A and B are shown apart, each in its own frame.
Chain A
């Protein structure tokens, strides 16, 4: 880790093909800044990205990275962190990627509490496949596949995380650059699974959950005297269907990350030239 890392070191020279104005630009900037602020550099960082417009983030950032298959980014991040506890692991994807096809993995990644951060660009729509309903779409939101709206309640990812035993739950807004950066930074610094749902507007396919909508309606928990260590208070804001919040909703002060619970501390990439010392014991066991 070098001290003179600037956030632009995390930028690749590939020009994003996101639509001008897409929330993902702001989301990504905040992620890069948060990584640099926490003393990481591209050589010790592993970014795993999902599939979707959001998942393209791995291409536009510079670090060790894998852009996987739809919905499976969290298990990849888990494998990376277990094999290499020395790496900073960040997983990124969309609401469809994370809460639809990947919902099962989300629940289990949360309860495993692997020490990594998970940033979901929640635009309440499928962007890359051109505008179908996502699991966070409002129940009356008309899309190409739901002309009368999905007619089912949206998933509340924060509640899902809370119910699954999350140790860190936060929400941010891509265009509130400073707060977003701060919140992602807290997720990185958290000892365990740092989950951030980011409102990252899709300017092309979602004309409801817009920048203006979030700007006007979002309540910042920092101004609300919210104590993230207070589980009951966290539950209240997370289950509040009247308002949308940004900030850290919940953080478990006693969070013990997976590797500490399971004693997974070795760098698994370093292996001997032949069978490990004492391997013949494995054979003798079968006497």
Chain B
């Protein structure tokens, strides 16, 4: 692993923590460095504290670690909250002119910069965070010109004066440190490369995937951490002929999306926690009316309002089993930010090909984490669209009954019926959440009921056979130790492998993006001596599913503190799990 640098800025909500962090992350990305960001909304003492953390390296970074090298502290609490992660070599940038007396442990390097007054010199106190960024550049030996580029990007829209003032603020911060401190002993030398990277988070990748997949209609109701999907689409989807509606609630959102989908558009809604509960009734309607719809759940800590700004993977059971009665659905869960993009596209294809609701299950950690990638990771030329059995004027006849009525729910061998969208001559038909016959009309006939239930279930069998429900694999494929995971834990696991390798422990990691239908892992589990399932929830919902599938007990690593797994922490947890007895 190449030397990586861990930087953070923390203060009160409203201090511009997020945008400052983002600017620095962008500067690093422009410099061809890899970046992985994370956000803290700690709730340990009292509301308000927030931090933006950046891990950066010339190599790919895909996890958080327990180390902070440089901290911009706008409040004492920022220092206190991060004490565990600070080390003897850490540098802390703070503003000694402010009313609080910074208490900084002796071993660390205190860098007192008059952030506010320098910012005022540059044109306004509001730029004090930018002064701090300039100071950070000086400490790390990072060329401030990359920061200029990021400032242009951030403030370009507000006029050149603002851009220039911000650049000046950064310069003043840089010069102040240069003139007042000799920090060579810290030994940072931030390497740059010629690589061009893009920097984005999981929700942006989902939004981008949706547009790439031809999604034109989005309806949603704001809820953390799903809202940024709606924010991304608003203002962009219009350029591609689409529209976003902020509905009055989630019931409305999913029903609007259903309406758009039934009339032939690719449509999506996204929500989290309580919103998914509200959508559940309509979810059943989507499934029985065989409407292609993508429903995204960006999971957060539940139940109820739970911990809205905290990570959890607690909705798997809801995605697999939610809703009354028995309805087929697909559950796809991206395991990384690039997969957020590609799996969203797949979700739209599955929805239309199989005429089912598709749950796209992401999580808070992925939604707020920004990461760098080469732009080719999102190559739009590789996007494939499959609209499934759409019938047009030419082939609608094949699907009419003797009376000339369109058989929208025709019983077929593969379980998939023809689909006519409004405007198709002779395709007019009714769809309903009631059990229905082939024409879509209500029925309580025993035969017809069984035929329709079987037909809908048969789609899953067809899909099982037609698609590759594969998993992603890392580590040593022949290792005796198998670790299985889903969702955003993948990055931390992949990095944990390096720590484990250093300790001489070989591990095979399987990261599963398809939760239903899902790959059959019985062979892999049979071949391993030990199997551990890693997930961010208390009860081990995925572990339960796997035990059910393979009829073998597995070990579990569960984290439900509200904070995502860190690579070093996971390596330790795996090491100690391996020596535990297998549960009886």
Contact = CB atoms under 8 A, between A and B. Distances in A.
A274 B431 contact: no
Interface string B105-135: 0000000000000000000000000000000
Given A80-B259, A276-B214, A63 B428 contact: yes
Contact of B285 (A69, A71, A74, A272): A69
B449 interface: no
A67 B441 CA distance: 10
Contacts of A75: 219, 247, 251-253, 255-256, 259
A76 B199 CA distance: 36
A13 B260 contact: no
B199 A84 contact: no
A68 interface: yes
Interface of A: 12-14, 42-46, 48, 58-59, 61-69, 71-72, 74-84, 86-87, 104-105, 107-108, 262-264, 266, 268-276, 279-280, 282-284, 286-287
A172 to B, nearest CB: 24
A202 B241 CA distance: 45
Contacts of B456: none
B427 A43 contact: yes
B384 interface: yes
Contacts of A79: 217, 219, 255-263, 267
A287 B198 CA distance: 4
Interface stretch (B7-15, B179-187, B373-381): B373-381
B433 A268 contact: no
Contact of B263 (A72, A262, A269, A283): A269
A262 to B, nearest CB: 7
Contact of A268 (B200, B219, B241, B383): B241
B217 A80 contact: no
A146 to B, nearest CB: 26
Among the interface residues B212, B240, B247, B381, which one has the most CB atoms of the partner chain A within 10 A?
B240
Nearest to A258: B245
5 contacts: A65-B430, A71-B251, A78-B259, A268-B264, A274-B383
A150 to B, nearest CB: 25
Contacts of B256: 75-76, 78-79, 82
A244 B429 CA distance: 37
B53 to A, nearest CB: 19
Contacts of A67: 430-434
Interface string B407-437: 0000000000000011111111111111000
Contact of B431 (A14, A66, A86, A282): A66
Interface in B281-307: 281-282, 284-285, 289
Contact of A76 (B238, B258, B266, B383): B258
A287 B238 CA distance: 21
A268 B260 CA distance: 8
Given A275-B212, A276-B240, A284-B198, 16 more contacts: A13-B403, A43-B423, A65-B428, A66-B258, A68-B255, A72-B251, A72-B255, A80-B422, A84-B423, A87-B263, A105-B251, A105-B252, A263-B238, A264-B243, A271-B216, A283-B375
B429 A274 contact: no
Contacts of A84: 263-265, 422-423
A104 B199 CA distance: 40
Contacts of A83: 216-217, 259-261, 263-265, 267
Contact of B385 (A12, A87, A272): A272
A69 B433 contact: yes
A38 to B, nearest CB: 17
Contact of B380 (A45, A74, A280): A280
A77 B422 CA distance: 13
A57 B405 CA distance: 18
A75 B251 CA distance: 8
B358 interface: no
Please name the 3 residue pairs, one residue from A and one from B, whose CB atoms are nearest each other, closest first: A79-B259, A269-B264, A271-B214
A129 to B, nearest CB: 15
A43 B424 contact: yes
B442 interface: yes
B497 interface: no
B196 A287 contact: yes
B242 interface: yes
Contacts of B217: 79, 82-83, 268
B385 A273 contact: yes
B248 A58 contact: no
Interface string B209-227: 0011110110100000000
A272 B217 CA distance: 15
A59 B434 CA distance: 11
Given A269-B263, A275-B380, A64 B248 contact: no
Contact of B198 (A74, A82, A270, A286): A286
B331 interface: no
Contacts of B432: 58-59, 66-68
Nearest to B348: A271
A268 B431 contact: no
Given A59-B432, A82-B243, A282 B423 contact: no
Contacts of B196: 287
B577 interface: no
A271 B215 CA distance: 8
A52 to B, nearest CB: 13
A64 B429 contact: yes
A72 B424 CA distance: 25
A202 B258 CA distance: 31
A172 B228 CA distance: 45
Contact of A87 (B248, B422, B442): B422
A97 B199 CA distance: 47
A58 B259 CA distance: 15
A280 B429 CA distance: 39
B259 A286 contact: no
Given A268-B264, A271-B266, A287-B196, A282 B430 contact: no
Nearest to A91: B259
B245 A64 contact: no
Nearest to B442: A59
Contacts of A104: 248-249, 252
Contacts of A262: 243
Contacts of A43: 422-428
A8 to B, nearest CB: 14
A65 B263 contact: no
B8 to A, nearest CB: 22
